[in-house]
A and B are shown apart, each in its own frame.
Chain A
Amino acid sequence: MIDFTSASISFDMIYPEIALLVAAFVILLFATSRSLSKLAPLLGLIGLTVALITSIGQWGNQASGFFGMITCDNFGAAFKVVFVSISILAVLMAVRYFSVKHISRPELYALLLISTMGMMVMANTTDLIVMFLGLEIMSLPLYVMAGFARRSLESNEAGIKYFIMGAFASGFLLLGITFLFGATGTTDLRNVAADFSYIVGEFPLYVYTGVGLILIGFGFKIGAVPFHSWIPDVYQGAPTPITAFFSVGPKAAGFAVMLRIFLYGFAEMPELSTLFWILAVLTMTVGNVLALRQENVKRMLAYSSIAHAGYVMVALAVGGQESISAAMFYLIGYALFNTGAFAVITLMENRQGGKALVSELAGMARTSPYLSAVLALFMFSLAGFPPTVGFFGKFYLFSAAVKSGFIWLAVIGVMNSFISVYYYFRVIKAAYLDPAEKEFAPVTYAPTLVLVLVITAVGTVGLGFFPETVLDVSRLALFPFK
């Protein structure tokens, strides 16, 4: 059992965070020199690798320290590994892209690392205030990164839009925490969970208002409908490797926190299940329907990311250990194939004048058969075709729903992936079926991007065939239930 009041300041709980922070500061120091700043991506990778190893080392270690502010458990450790892996892929994608676009600055990698550190903080605590701090540490660099292409109007728009919306959402979140504090006198979810029935009985208005506001705050971050309106513009405007990072990293972090708050702290609030049922259905349906007619692949993937958030929200509606594991498995899979899809777009955008329109893909299959095969693979996985991890993720997620009797939710879920087949196939159709008006300009394969493609493609197929190992990890990656 966790020691609630542990005052031990044991730094091994936050080694990964420290590693990232140190690496980020070293990068910033190096940034002062033109020659040293070229090492920034390498330093970033080193920092991330150290963080990865230390995060893996935290597996199986269950402790609480810093006066209960930091709590280590398998759930947090597993999510840390996910965040770091996503970040590594993002660094690998960014190197070439930013130099081709002449916006390469070493600060980018520092921001990326700090943002990743924020996610880790979020996953590593049961305290709402620390979660909020983590969220802000994660978000502030993201705002800057979204607007990193300073000369591009769209990128500026993305940065500003993301900042205003994000700041607004943070306000909601903080207000919600305040209300809860008013009702409970604590910001620690463990205390909330322990006395939940009493608190609800005494201060129902405060608790419901607080939970509602927290939900709105995180709803913005993960892009749940009706808080999704910022997503398409920000995703489209931001530099593509950053978009790839946006679409999986903060989303996974948001879900990690939401799973912990709503399935642990407020596990005894039955209304939440119904609420998440509605939100999940709304999110996946709106995301999928709006994605149908997008002409820009990035924008389409933005809407698709809304839809995928909807699928994961099924886990929040269903609740229980099974769905936590399912959500984690799905997020891991999603991180793989979605990053892969963005990596293909990055490759295309590295060419002169590439805008990532669906129509630009015409003739791709003839000139670059392997790249288009990989793109098709990611699209099949996004659409949930076997034998990819996209299919098994859905299998697992909806099986958790069916197991707990949420059969209609599962039916609506699969019907949504039916809708999604159409727009993912549009990409494949453009690459394979459409006649090319002008020749598909060959892409130059940057080695780092090829590495990303290989990792994600192998992961997508490999986890589809042999999900067992990750499945076992996701089953153990739980926070302690009461």
Chain B
Amino acid sequence: MEDQILTLVTFFPLLGVLLLLLVPKDRHDSIRAVSLIVAFVTMLLSFLLWGMYDPMGSGMQFEVDVPWISSFGIHYHLGIDGISLLLIVLTTILQVLAILASWKSITTGVKGYFISMLMLQTGMIGVFCALDLFMFYVFWEVMLIPMYFLIGVWGGPRRVYAAIKFVLFTMFGSLLMLVAILYLMFEFQRYSGTFSLDIMQLMQMPITHEVQMYLFGAFALAFAIKVPLWPFHTWLPDAHVQAPTAGSVILAGVLLKMGTYGFIRICLPVFPDASITFVPYICILSLIAIVYGALVAMVQKDVKSLVAFSSVSHMGFVMLGMFALNMQGLQGSVLQMINHGISTGALFLVVGMIYDRRHTRMIADFGGLAKSVPVFSAVFLIVTLSSIGLPFTNGFVGEFLVLLGSFNANAWYGIIAASGVILSACYMLWMFQRVVFGKITKPENENLKDLDWRERIILFPLIILIFWIGIYPSPLLDRVEPSLKAVMSHMAKARTVEYDEENQQLRKFVESDEEPVTITLSRESR
């Protein structure tokens, strides 16, 4: 079981695809039921994974390592640490909710839709547990195909444009990443004499600073497009707005995390020197993303595109925390990945529910929903507050840690990022006020049905998670900390940095005449 569980979690949805192929295509309810059961079992398996995971361990767990294409040293190598564990559990939970959410709203091409959803899930989980770069790349690309169909076939009016834009943007980055992967493969061969694309082995290889810069650039571009970091974000509003509700939930909840996960799993440990050189650039881009995303979100007329732009802003926080390169920042960053998945996922679900009723998402079309649909409004309020980061909700813990980390790295980063928090309160609350409060101006809004049992079941677990992480985040942080420590202490092995045990941060050395001068990335030691 120990050995097989990762394979099982990853490919169980694919097994579901085979099952679905057997179901006749006009038996919609059976198709839905089968996919729900498959997703549910996958979720239970991932809970099992959580239970079996040893929180103290800092290395990879549940590793499977079987040769695959041996002439290139490509292995079927899976393994997870705390970071991947959290993301896998998030993926499986959101998948169940997404399938429930598309129960009624998807009425055409039902079979194809659920096949795409399940294939997508295998791709996503695969990315989070692949430890071989070839496998990572395969999963990374494979997941594009079902997402293309999800947006393109079941999306909104501009779905065709949004779908191809999504594919082209992602492809552009990932193809350059492919060249970088090839280069790494031969670099490793020159270094050790054998082929390998194993991330764990590549980490141990010294690479000259200059080469690291190029390789980091190629990988970072692929990941930055996925995150998306400003200015590579332009595909995101289109894809989010046009995708069906479940597609948006998965896209925002999980797909964006693949970018940040790539940074933390590949860029930081394999190219530590380059990562440190790139710190200011990435931080500045993240800050721009935070402020720009927030400002653009403020002027949106469509609730869904408002949420989409808020994603740009929130993912900026994730990147900023990560590249603060200290424990608080990294922890906040990982936690914020999860939080963003929960809050934004929930927001998209809520927006989808109101869209199902009114067939519009324009803020101006609503108003006074508090009176007609009180339960909906209450849930909406909780989700909105969690997205803003109110204390006792999950968003607060993550954002606080990120801000702490970035203050430690550079006070200015912290100050600008904090302004992003305020801006997020502005646009979210303003939107909430216009949609939920006030008088009912449109007669259509008077007799709306409140949430039914299915919708309550979908939102309930998310609300539990929002408060649980907000009040007691340690189960998550405990599992992440050893893994992050491992990443940082590994980076410290690189030439230009050392790990400061006391302050749990990385110090940077600039080599000049043998005697290293310490430039710390922290405020205290300056």
Contacts and interface: CB of A to CB of B under 8 A. Distances in A.
B70 interface: yes
A402 B182 contact: yes
A415 B153 contact: no
A411 B175 CA distance: 8
Most buried by B among A402, A467, A472: A402
A246 interface: no
B164 A422 contact: yes
B141 interface: yes
B176 interface: yes
Contact of B164 (A380, A385, A418, A425): A425
Contact of B163 (A369, A391, A421, A433): A433
B77 interface: no
A417 B152 contact: no
A105 interface: no
B71 A425 contact: no
B21 to A, nearest CB: 10
Given A422-B168, A475-B71, A429 B179 contact: no
Contacts of B276: none
Contacts of B137: 386
A415 B175 contact: yes
Contacts of B69: 466-468, 471
B152 to A, nearest CB: 5
Interface string B45-76: 00000000000000000000000011110000
A387 B139 CA distance: 9
Q: Name the interface size band of chain A.
A: 20 to 34
A360 to B, nearest CB: 18
Interface in B181-198: 182-183, 185-186
Which of B142, B172, B178: most chain A CB closer than 10 A? B178
A391 B172 CA distance: 15
B519 interface: no
Interface string A220-246: 000000000000000000000000000
A371 B442 CA distance: 48
Interface residues of B, number: 33
B465 interface: no
Interface string B119-150: 00000000000000000011001101100110
A385 B170 CA distance: 12
Interface in B4-31: 25
B171 interface: yes
A315 B168 CA distance: 27
A387 B142 contact: yes
Interface string A385-406: 1110001000100110011000
Contacts of A23: none
Given A414-B178, A471-B71, A472-B71, A433 B159 contact: yes
A418 B175 contact: yes
Contacts of A399: 72, 182, 185-186
A311 to B, nearest CB: 13
A414 B179 CA distance: 8
Interface of A: 365-366, 369, 380, 385-387, 391, 395, 398-399, 402-403, 407, 410-411, 414-415, 417-418, 421-422, 425, 428-429, 432-434, 466-468, 471-472, 475
Interface of B: 25, 69-72, 109, 112, 137-138, 141-142, 144-145, 148-149, 152-153, 159-160, 163-164, 167-168, 171-172, 175-176, 178-179, 182-183, 185-186
24 contacts: A369-B112, A385-B142, A385-B144, A386-B141, A386-B142, A391-B138, A399-B182, A402-B182, A402-B183, A410-B182, A414-B175, A418-B168, A418-B175, A421-B167, A422-B168, A425-B164, A432-B153, A433-B153, A433-B160, A433-B163, A434-B160, A467-B69, A471-B69, A475-B71
